Structures are given as C-alpha cells and as structure tokens.
Amino acid sequence: MIPVTKPFLPNIEEYNKFVKDIWERQWLTNNGPLVNELELKLKEYLDLPHVLFLGNGTIAIQIAIKALGLKGDIITTPFSYVATTSSIVWENCNPVFVDIDPDTLNINHRLIEAAITPETTGILATHVYGNPCDIDAIEFIAKKHNLKVIYDAAHCFGTKYKGKSAFAYGDIATTSFHATKVFHTTEGAQYFLKTQNWLK
Ligand SMILES: Cc1ncc(COP(=O)(O)O)c(C=O)c1O
C-alpha cells in the first residue's frame, strides 16, 4: 500500500517517558502541565500574542463564532472541510457562500463585497491546503464594513503571510491538531486570538 499521507509518530521510548510522568502525576485533564507547556512553546515558536488549546478544530471554530458574538449571516467558502460550514449552522448563523478563486481554491475576495448585506456580521475563510487567502484584501473589506474575520487555518501549520504565521491574522484564527494534519497531537486544536477583549 502506498499511503497518500502518513502521520508523524515520535520515538516510542521518548513518548513513553511522557506517559510515565503522566501516570506518576495522575493528572489527566483540566490544564495539566503538558498542555500549558505546549501552549507556551507554540506561542513562542509561532510568535503569537495568545494561544488557547481546545478539544478539536471544529469546536475552535464554534467558540470563535460565539466569542466574537457573530449573529445573522457569515460569509464563507464552499470549498473547505465540512466543519467550516457546520460550525456556522451550529451557532445559529447562516452561511453565505462566496465562490472560490480557481487558481488558489481560496474564497475569491473580489466577490465578497457583493455578498454583504445589513445581516452580515463576519467572514469565515479557509486557507486551503496551506495557501493563505488574500489576507490584506479581506482585512480591507472587513474594516470597511465593520465585520469580524475568522480564519479556519486547519491546513496552515508553518504557513507564513508577509513574514508572520498565518495564525496571526484575523480577529481569531483556528487550526486543527487532528492526526491527518502536518502538526498533530492525534486530536485537539488551537485557537489563536488577535485580541483578548472577549475574555474581559
Ligand atoms: C479546513 C478544516 N477545518 C476544520 C477541521 C476540523 O478539525 P477537527 O477534525 O480537529 O475537528 C478540519 C479537519 O479536518 C479541516 O481540514
């Protein structure tokens, strides 16, 4: 069999050292030391102001929608994993699809303004296959129309835009650490905030 992708697995002895420490600590959930260490290391490595660890990439998108208080219509892409759209629906908002650019497969920013109505509160765009959207163009439109921007950056570990991690853009960027991703924890997600205002 020739695998299309193959998840990275660490050296089993190295991994077992961590497992042994977990057994000794008997601390399996709720902000354990390994989660905190990973959050801090990623924050430094990716040079981000805030990083939060959650259960998976789907819940990260849903919490982002909730945290930003989005209501009504959210402009999004029809070409993504199902969680991008299902999160909008689960949060009682309406997905409004804007077609993709055939060259990048990302949402076509030239078509976004025509889809904005008084009901629109945000844009949820996916950076498909690690290629960043036209972030400058989307930010310009969002500012002009007072919209929030969430990036589903599940494919983007290591992707840079203008020298910064793709996770640094938008009001919130989310990613997935599912086993199929470039960087994975077998399951889990991160949630990258540009501002921490909603925490106050
Ligand atoms: C673009 C995109 N968004 C969201 C998700 C959801 O992530 P998770 O599987 O961690 O819930 C995925 C994962 O496959 C994805 O590819």
Q: Which of 176, 183, 187, 191 to mutate to test the pocket of ligand 1 (most atoms within 8 A of CB)?
A: 176
Cα pseudo-dihedral 177, 173, 5, 179, rounded to 10: 10
Residue nearest to atom 7 of ligand 1 (CA): 57
Q: Domain total for the chain?
A: 2
Strand-pairing partners, residue 164, are: 161
Residue-level pLDDT at 193: 64
Residue 34 falls inside a structural domain: yes
Edge-to-edge strand order for the sheet containing 148-152? Answer: 50-54, 189-193, 172-174, 148-152, 120-126, 73-76, 94-97
**Rounded Cα gap, residues 121 and 96, in angstroms:** 11
- By residue range, what is the domain housing residue 37? 10-46
* Shared-domain flag, residues 62 and 154: yes
Percent of the chain predicted with pLDDT > 90 = 79
181 is catalytic: yes
Q: For position 197, what pLDDT does the model report?
A: 52
- The residue that leads in pLDDT, 72 or 55, is 72
Q: CA-CA distance, 13 to 137, in Å (whole number)?
A: 47
Q: Residue 152 forms beta bridges with which residues?
A: 126, 174
Q: What is the pLDDT averaged over residues 182-196?
A: 72
77 and 176 in a single domain? The answer is: yes
Tell me the per-residue pLDDT of 99-109, one tens digit each, with 9 for 90 and over: 999 999 999 99
pLDDT digits (tens, 9 = 90+) for 32-47: 999 999 999 999 999 9
Within 13 Å of residue 7, how many CA atoms lie on the same side as its CB?
Answer: 13
Atom of ligand 1 nearest to the CA of 61: 4
- Please work out whether the CB of residue 176 comes within 6 Å of at least one atom of ligand 1: yes
Sorting pLDDT into bands at 50, 70 and 90, what band is 200? very low
| Alpha carbon distance 9, 152 (integer Å) | 25
Q: Which tens digit of pLDDT belongs to each residue from 69-121? A: 999 999 999 999 999 999 999 999 999 999 999 999 999 999 999 999 999 99
Please name the amino acid found at residue 10: P
Look at residue 131 and tell me if it is in a domain: yes
- Asked whether residue 126 is assigned to any structural domain, the reply reads yes
| CA 70 to each of CA 64, 95, 189: distance values in angstroms, whole numbers, following the listed order | 9, 12, 21
CB of 165 within 6 A of ligand 1: the answer is no
- Residue 3 in any domain: the answer is no
User: Domain check: are 82 and 39 in the same one?
Assistant: no
Mean pLDDT (whole number) for 7-20: 92
CA distance 159 to 134: 13
What is the pLDDT at residue 8? 87
Least confident of 45-54, 60-69, 120-129, 178-187: 178-187
**Shared-domain flag, residues 42 and 58:** no
**Are 18 and 68 found together in one domain?**
no
Residues 62 and 27 in one domain: no
Contact 93, 74 (CB under 8 A): yes
39 and 73 together in one domain: no
Residues 26 and 94 in one domain: no
Helices (H), the chain: 12-25, 33-46, 57-67, 82-90, 112-115, 135-145
Task: Tell me whether residue 5 is in a domain.
Answer: no
Check whether residue 179 and residue 81 sit in a common domain.
Answer: yes
Let me know whether 195 and 109 are in one domain.
Answer: yes
Residue 2 lies in a domain: no
CATH value at residue 97 = 3.40.640.10
Cα 57 to ligand 1 centroid, rounded to whole Å: 5
